[in-house]
Structure 1
Amino acid sequence: MKPIFLSLENLLYKITFSIVSKKQPVLTPIAIKNNLLRQCVKPLLLAVILLLSICVATQAQAPVITKNMGIPSGNANCSGVAYGNSVYIAILNGGYIYQSADGESWSKVVDAGIPAGTFTSISFGAGTFVVVGQGGLILTSANGLNWTSRTSGTTQNLTNVQFLQSAFYVTGMNTTLRRSTDGITWSSITIGAGTATDMFLYITYGSGTLVISARNTSGSGIYVYKSATGLSNSWTFQDLGFGTVNRVQYINDRFFVFLSSHEIFTSTNASTWTNITASITLSLPNATMGVWNSSNQIFNGFYDGTKYHFFGSSQYYSGYGSVFTATTGLNFSLQTKTAYIVPQGSAYLNGKYFQTGNEGIVSSPDGITYKYPTGNYMSVASSGTSYAGVGLVASNTGNIFTSADYVTWTAKTPANQQELYGVVHNGSKYLAVGFTTVVESTDDGASWNQIATPAATTYTGVAWGNSKFVAMGYDGVGAKIAYSATGATWTTASTADNYYFRIKYVNGNFFAMGSDNISYHGVIMHSTDGITWSDITPTLPYVVSYFNDVIFDGTKYHFMGAEASNYNFFSVSTATITNPNSFTNKGTITSPPGGSQLGGDWGQGAFAYSNGHFVGSVNDVADGYKTYVVYSNDGVSWTATAMNETTSIGGVIAEGNVFRLLGSGDGKITVSYSVLGVHNFEFEAALVNGQSLLQWQTADEQNTKNFVIQHSSNGHGWIDIDSVRSMGNSSSVKNYSYTHSKPEKGINYYRLIQNDIDGAFTYSKIVSVTLKSAIKPLSIYPNPVVNAPLNVQLQQTTLVSIYNSTGALVFSKQLTAGTQQLDVSGLTKGTYTIKAGETVKQIIIQ
């Protein structure tokens, strides 16, 4: 809602004139105003003022909500990755497709041609990506962005697709096999051997032979189907004995059969198989020799031209995420574990190493050190100059990511980090807690060190206040709340039998919120010092499943939770927290989608308050836990906006009129309100003699400290370049200017942060200037585009990407130097951003 710059007198005049005037006036406006104010307005002043106050108080400002979510990590189940046409494409089992130029930074592909379904495998060949899935699903794409469904001729669940010997082969249930040379037209292959109900798992090729690994209907068996031609009725069947096959795979110069036990068979011709298990040697990370026994297992692998890489589980690390390398295929070396993942797939693509599996996708530049591209966040904190998000990707495996701008996040997870559930900043350091671990960072998140290992204790959240850290969690006995001055040693303060979802320090009070373990109803525990706790659960006319957050608006405390009857979100407020009968003003979501249950069933959601705005998140229990951002201007009437994601938000950072939400599966959401910090704020930029001249004008400045000038070369990664002091409180116009003497070649973006003396701050609009190079790296025409192709002129071969107004990638392709025409007729009308290398421009399609 933009600010109104009329004086109250003028506003009253306009409203009153519309009420009392019956005909066109003949007096001048000033004379009319004075006459009305003397004779007519006085009896209406109080009523009009009351009406205005009601309107202002009840009009909710709609925020701008943006999301910046990469490929999720954690419980993401990545079914595979492929590379072609200068782009990596990864698929998630849940029916999502992601693309990346470098295999590390991923963005979701949004295309109407992607149907709902379960995706199981991806391959690239003949210039085409092919994705297969359950129910006979086959999709193809040339660029990984625009997808088309193809007719497979079967409704069987498809399990694997590979491009082998100039053709795509797809395997599936009940000995299903399909073949295509282009990915578009598919033919059925009749096996004519084995058992018709066998489950085909994976197809590979080597030594002139196509080989399919299979199991029986009960999920066991070591079955091998093979053919020299791949044609119908050319296949033979071989049973390798008792056990369960993980995969048969041709790697470098031989076939490998990996079993669900530790056993491994090899063959050079897929006919005669040798059990090499007893011949395997195992070197451990501690420089000792191990034993290859039943506590080790291989799922799959590949050869990178120098070494074999095998992926599975190990006795040494007591589980998955184990990477073995070998030079001969027999001399295994277990590498230091860097990423926990159940490796359902692996690939060596364009010089980069990948593992895909239940927890998502991990990559490595050297085949040794793997990392997740994003975090799975349970909690977030800010130091004022950085952000830290902590969480977990699997049992016993935590993650820590930090960011300076909330856009670019960098992994800072120490080796062998246990899962983490809470993080807080106390003004001098970050402290994170989790499963039998407490870690800290004293250098603004750059490095993290473990400072405590609480025996048999899992801390699920932490707060800072009253000169101490206070954590909630549980141990081998039950629930607990504990406190510590430094985080190194902890003292138990409460053992009340509750399960807590959040602990928070608000307005000089600690609150621990959740549900009790007796009636399983909502509970709120309170303390002023973090040591002595009491139950202040309110008396309400409805049953509460749990409470999960609290915020303070300067007058009242607002508690959020879910009702027991339907898990729907509600809020309730009080100014007297110790009086259980004082909680009133039940808040709910107005006009929720039909059939939805917006709230949560296990503590989902987090909330914050700033500058008159309440912001938080809920999940739809009735529809796959889809995420909604909820906001309110009074804490009673809430509006919900669907995010079309399934993240569970773990924390919210409020910064003036901007709210930053962080959650599971790389859930990053920003909620921004109108951000004009002073009335009549004008901000402009111009290029003068190769320098950026920034000028802004304010009126009615009150309590302003300074203006920080920020610069960006891409419109989202901001750097402080200088600051200008405020001229002080004033009701008159004030003019400011600043010259950026060394702008970069291309587009330079600028914005201001107006800081108040009381710590509040707001952002200006974004302005830009363009410093042209002698040679234009990117030229586009026509602009706007009206029923015509878009001409793109490049000075050199460059990856060209087009994003829509929501930031979703709609086109990406490596284009050669010169002028090329792009068909944009399939794009909806609107404003788009086109990026070529470091050059960014806007285009309008009409």
Structure 2
Amino acid sequence: MAIRWLILLILLLLLGCGNPSPDGVQVTSPVFAPDPLPGLTLANVAFADGTLVAVGSNGLLETSDDGKTWTTRSTPVQVNLRGAAFGNGVWIAVGDASVVLRSTDLVTWTRVQVPVQGVGFRGATFGNGLFVIAGSGGVVLTSPDGIVWTPSATGTTNILWGATFADGSFIVSGQFGTLLTSPDAVTWTPRSTGVGDFLWQVAQGPGGLVAVGDQGAIVFSPDGVNWAPQNSPTPEVLRGLTAGKGLFVAAGSGGTLLFSPDGQNWTQALSPTASTFRGVAFDGTTFVAVGDSGTIALSYDGQSWVIGQTGEERELWAIAFGNGAYVAAGGQGRIFSSADAVDWTGQQVAGQENFYSGAFGAGRFVLVGTRGAIYTSLNGVDWIPTASGTTQNLYAVSFLSGRFLAGGLNGTLLTSPDGLNWAPVPNGALHALHGFAVGNGVFVLAGAGTLQSSPDGLAWTVNPVGIGHFQTAAAFGAGTFAIPGHVGRILTSSDGVDWALVITPTTRNLDSITFGNGTFVAGAEGVLMTSPDGATWTLQATPTERSIRGLLFAGGQFVGVGGDRTVVTSPDGVTWSALVLP
């Protein structure tokens, strides 16, 4: 029976509805206190000077001195923070839009000016009395104190992401298998890795050095000079890497966790979650992996893992409309249906998959999610699993011009005429696909580092404008494609070929977009904004600080879903109401 949920005040939304987890230690693994801001992505974690520092989306920075209780620290930015490092009594945190933060006490963080603009800093390390940070365009900066920064010529324009200091050398890694070493952070030498995959992280451990990356890539070196690819037990993206207790530990997409005693022979651990991990650290006692939806997993031995905290069970990512019904879905198999987006009935499917996207077409609803999960329903209430032919996470599904398109990790692209029978579609993407749109006789797909167009949704052409940028969704309206991404950026095009960059009034990551009633609406954490043409955007009063993960216009209204099971509705994109589902 549907339960009518009253519109909540902003204060209640800010307080949230989560119950704290017990704070204590079990026989095998500790239990973490809940993230003060559940649902935000934790992009990396570092350990030094007795403290764990986790950084993430929209300026998120958390610290812990015991791995059990985490404290959110105030930062002066709202862009993604990607890495952190400690040295000479100073912590730094780095991120998008050339952001470098500095702190001597982990409480007060100050933004430091750097001699480059528009760089996404990704990796940070300290060694030989120097901080070294690396980022987009092959940029590397060095500093003895975290205040005064000097550019260092690397000889590459590839994106650099991983950074470490080992055996007297700085090592940075990144796009197209790039790996550079330097004894002084001044003179850099490229090293052959034998792979063309993005190498996200590099670390020193038993027997040598390891770099990990896309499609399960693992390369090993005994000396930092000679590198060789290793057999990997997974095709998943490996984003995090650390070492401790005589083991390398790697973490990545779909909850992937690996361990190795020597960097060459790897075993996949049983993961307690399907959420993507983006970083992992060792604090001297415990391995700590962090990732999407504020997820933190813990292990004393690098092999047996438990969830310490997660916000995924309170997430809504998917929203769809058909046959007079709205369907919203999210973490751990939760699905809600409603006739008006106010009264909602909830249920849970047995598989407890996370559902990341939804669509309606050919007379049925389709939800897609973790490990290739696809569920279909004729009425939004009764759901059946459908074979997808893939185990990759699926992040997007749309019904366009008479066919479903579903996309996910490692460039996975599927098509179906009816939502029941799915076939793979070749395309040029290497990373995750996040959105589809069609208009003016052109299909467009958007994803991490990719933007492609097609005349029929089957034969795709890669557009170089998408390389190096994170596109999160897609919409078409008013004769224009609009593709949102990180740092508040939107790409627009009338033909799917020539694109213009639009700077919007927010620097937060844009997670969703839709078009209806002559208006584009885009959403982010605590942000809803509108545009009549995709080029000029206006911030609207938003009744929640939660992330808006999915948006659509249907049934005469805009409906959005997001963190803490928040649902927002508006008749015009300007005046919004919010409620929280149980």
TM-score (norm 1): 0.36
1:338 corresponding residue in structure 2: 272
2:193 corresponding residue in structure 1: 240
- CA-CA distance at 1:305 after TM superposition: 2.1
Q: Among the aligned pairs, what percent are the same residue?
A: 17
Q: Secondary structure at the match of 1:94?
A: helix
- The one of 5, 10, 15 aligned to 1:68: 15
- CA-CA distance at 1:129 after TM superposition: 2.0
Q: Secondary structure at the match of 1:336?
A: coil
- Partners of 2:214 and 2:382 lie apart in 1 by 44
2:206 corresponding residue in structure 1: 252
2:133 corresponding residue in structure 1: 170
- Structure 1 runs not aligned, ≥5 long: 1-61, 281-291, 314-319, 380-389, 399-418, 424-430, 440-455, 461-473, 484-599, 603-619, 629-639, 650-662, 670-846
- CA-CA distance at 1:622 after TM superposition: 6.1
- Partners of 1:236 and 1:295 lie apart in 2 by 29
- The one of 265, 268, 281 aligned to 2:222: 268
- Partners of 2:523 and 2:59 lie apart in 1 by 16
- Partners of 2:10 and 2:212 lie apart in 1 by 54
2:161 corresponding residue in structure 1: 201
Residues 476 and 666 of structure 1: CA distance in aligned 2, closer, same or farther (over 3 Å): closer
2:182 corresponding residue in structure 1: 227
Q: Secondary structure at the match of 1:257?
A: strand
Residues 476 and 297 of structure 1: CA distance in aligned 2, closer, same or farther (over 3 Å): closer
C-alpha deviations, 1:427-455, integer Å up to 9, x for none? xxxx973345589xxxxxxxxxxxxxxxx
Residues 666 and 102 of structure 1: CA distance in aligned 2, closer, same or farther (over 3 Å): farther
Asked whether 1:369 is paired with 2:369, we answer no
Residues 625 and 240 of structure 1: CA distance in aligned 2, closer, same or farther (over 3 Å): closer
Residues 149 and 235 of structure 1: CA distance in aligned 2, closer, same or farther (over 3 Å): same
Residues 353 and 172 of structure 1: CA distance in aligned 2, closer, same or farther (over 3 Å): same
- Partners of 1:647 and 1:297 lie apart in 2 by 25
- Partners of 1:98 and 1:266 lie apart in 2 by 32
Q: Any conservation in 2 of the 1:647–1:667 contact (CA below 8 Å)? A: no
Q: Which amino acid aligns with 1:349?
A: D
- Partners of 2:198 and 2:10 lie apart in 1 by 54
- Partners of 2:246 and 2:255 lie apart in 1 by 22
Residues 457 and 102 of structure 1: CA distance in aligned 2, closer, same or farther (over 3 Å): farther
- Structure 2 runs not aligned, ≥5 long: 1-8, 17-34, 317-327, 338-344, 354-363, 369-373, 384-511, 515-519, 529-540, 551-560, 568-582
- Partners of 1:270 and 1:132 lie apart in 2 by 25
Q: Any conservation in 2 of the 1:434–1:458 contact (CA below 8 Å)? A: no
- Partners of 1:206 and 1:364 lie apart in 2 by 25
Q: Any conservation in 2 of the 1:128–1:182 contact (CA below 8 Å)? A: yes
1:752-791 to structure 2, matched below 5 A, reads none
Q: Any conservation in 1 of the 2:163–2:170 contact (CA below 8 Å)? A: yes
- The one of 64, 85, 92 aligned to 1:123: 85
Q: Any conservation in 1 of the 2:44–2:54 contact (CA below 8 Å)? A: yes
2:246 corresponding residue in structure 1: 306
- The one of 73, 80, 88 aligned to 2:44: 80
1:352 corresponding residue in structure 2: 286
1:430-579 to structure 2, matched below 5 A, reads 433-437=347-351, 476=376, 478-481=378-381
Instruction: Give the structure, 1 or 2, with the largest relative contact order (CA under 8 Å, sep 6 or more).
Output: 2
C-alpha deviations, 1:749-803, integer Å up to 9, x for none? xxxxxxxxxxxxxxxxxxxxxxxxxxxxxxxxxxxxxxxxxxxxxxxxxxxxxxx
Residues 263 and 87 of structure 1: CA distance in aligned 2, closer, same or farther (over 3 Å): closer
Q: Any conservation in 2 of the 1:68–1:667 contact (CA below 8 Å)? A: no
1:95 corresponding residue in structure 2: 59
Residues 146 and 642 of structure 1: CA distance in aligned 2, closer, same or farther (over 3 Å): farther
- Partners of 1:123 and 1:223 lie apart in 2 by 22
Q: Secondary structure at the match of 2:97?
A: helix
Q: Any conservation in 1 of the 2:214–2:236 contact (CA below 8 Å)? A: no
- Partners of 1:437 and 1:296 lie apart in 2 by 21
Q: Any conservation in 1 of the 2:165–2:171 contact (CA below 8 Å)? A: yes
Q: Which amino acid aligns with 1:370?
A: V
C-alpha deviations, 1:320-371, integer Å up to 9, x for none? 2122223333443322220223233211125232223344341314232231
Residues 624 and 329 of structure 1: CA distance in aligned 2, closer, same or farther (over 3 Å): closer
- Partners of 1:302 and 1:157 lie apart in 2 by 22
Q: Which amino acid aligns with 2:298?
A: S
Residues 644 and 208 of structure 1: CA distance in aligned 2, closer, same or farther (over 3 Å): same
1:326 corresponding residue in structure 2: 260
2:420 corresponding residue in structure 1: none
Q: Any conservation in 1 of the 2:88–2:145 contact (CA below 8 Å)? A: yes
Q: Secondary structure at the match of 2:309?
A: coil
Residues 176 and 335 of structure 1: CA distance in aligned 2, closer, same or farther (over 3 Å): same
1:182 corresponding residue in structure 2: 145
- CA-CA distance at 1:643 after TM superposition: 4.8
Q: Any conservation in 2 of the 1:355–1:362 contact (CA below 8 Å)? A: yes
Q: Secondary structure at the match of 1:479?
A: coil
Q: Any conservation in 1 of the 2:204–2:243 contact (CA below 8 Å)? A: no
- CA-CA distance at 1:309 after TM superposition: 1.6
1:42-61 to structure 2, matched below 5 A, reads none
Q: Any conservation in 1 of the 2:83–2:122 contact (CA below 8 Å)? A: yes
1:142 corresponding residue in structure 2: 104
- Partners of 2:140 and 2:283 lie apart in 1 by 25
- CA-CA distance at 1:153 after TM superposition: 1.1
Residues 101 and 648 of structure 1: CA distance in aligned 2, closer, same or farther (over 3 Å): farther
Asked whether 1:212 is paired with 2:172, we answer yes
- Partners of 2:10 and 2:293 lie apart in 1 by 33
1:665-814 to structure 2, matched below 5 A, reads 665-666=563-564
2:455 corresponding residue in structure 1: none
Q: Any conservation in 2 of the 1:375–1:391 contact (CA below 8 Å)? A: no
Structure number with bigger Rg: 1
Q: Secondary structure at the match of 1:135?
A: coil
- Partners of 1:353 and 1:104 lie apart in 2 by 12
Q: Any conservation in 1 of the 2:180–2:190 contact (CA below 8 Å)? A: yes
Q: Which amino acid aligns with 2:141?
A: R
TM-score (norm 2): 0.51
Q: Which amino acid aligns with 1:79?
A: A
Aligned residues: 355
